[in-house]
Structure 1
């Protein structure tokens, strides 16, 4: 039995490779974040970690991902996939679940370096983890969320078949904003003409499907 079986997991799409985070990849991810993730006048995250990035040089990022690894348990997990294009880290795609064996639900969240926006990578990496969750893990429902005014994220969600599932309020910069909850049932998933290739699930499946 491998002490950290997630290190074998790989998802591949036509243009991207997704692997669970490792320290060397996280250092590269920090540099991507430091180069810019979003317009400074906007805050796409409920936790405004990019505002604090210049003050902590990425330490807070590393501590977050290390904490996610440390909390991983059978059925309750977060897999933080580093997304690479042509061998270079371009962003992060998270897939997480609680009590997965009973609920069969997952949540997704993602971000990319600003210089990689506009190439369809965001859709491709979300499709990768949705296919992985529905077709390989046996998930029934995928959930996500985005600010009401986040047109790019909401367009991707609508294109893939998500429907609105209510709202919640948040104030990442001290101003009340509406966060739209989104739900995608497996039967409503609008699939592309390609399928994600999955490697290494046999080594880690006991952790994430139970």
Structure 2
């Protein structure tokens, strides 16, 4: 066990799979991963406006550190790195509010430019859905995407989410029309065999349950 894992139990949480001819691994980042993560972060990444700092160099580490600091049953966010055939390819987040009572999760993600168009966005979301439904006992997963984000909306549709409304989000210089969708555990159980993700394995879930569910 590394020194990092000795002080943060979520460092042991991992999800592995094979998809689209690739070996995939989701793992939580250590501080040593941050320079490599920043190096592949796309310039157009939609940064969380509630975090201080106006550049990727400031936002990327703060996003990871905030996820650690705020992890508890009332509110949590898991930030996973995606490794594709051993190379860092992007991130996949899984988050929830009041999870012990609501049992609803949300997802968000991004890929480095060199890793797009390979089916990885669908695969890594399918991997965290497997974690949420089989280990965390979620009852539903929800997704929110800007109406012109065809890539994210395409992943959502391909995984069987169903539309459940829309909202408008005020940004610094614009107002975005956001489309919402939901995937229930029952619908996921019917469709997951067609996701194209095989050999799914999870380790470290016991420690995660103690922190995230209470």
Q: What TM-score comes out, normalization by structure 1 length?
A: 0.86
Kept after mapping to 2: 8 A contact 1:148/1:180 = yes
* Most deviating of 90-99 and 189-198: 189-198
Partner of 1:72: 71
- Kindly tell me the number of residue pairs found equivalent between the two proteins: 199
2: distance between equivalents of 1:176 and 1:209? 35
Residue 100 of structure 1: how far off its partner (Å)? 1.1
Kept after mapping to 2: 8 A contact 1:25/1:89 = no
Partner of 1:118: 117
2: distance between equivalents of 1:180 and 1:207? 31
Residues 184 and 195 of structure 1, relative CA distance in 2, 3 Å threshold = farther
Partner of 2:210: 206
Kept after mapping to 2: 8 A contact 1:75/1:100 = yes
Partner of 2:34: 26
Residue in structure 2 matching 1:13, options 13, 17, 23: 17
Residue 60 of structure 1: how far off its partner (Å)? 2.3
1: distance between equivalents of 2:50 and 2:156? 22
* Residue-by-residue CA offset, 1:84-127 (whole Å, 9 max, x unaligned): 11222111100011111111111110011122110000000000
Name the one with the larger strand percent.
2
Kept after mapping to 1: 8 A contact 2:26/2:83 = yes
**How big is the alpha-carbon RMSD for the aligned residues of Structure 1 and Structure 2?**
2.2
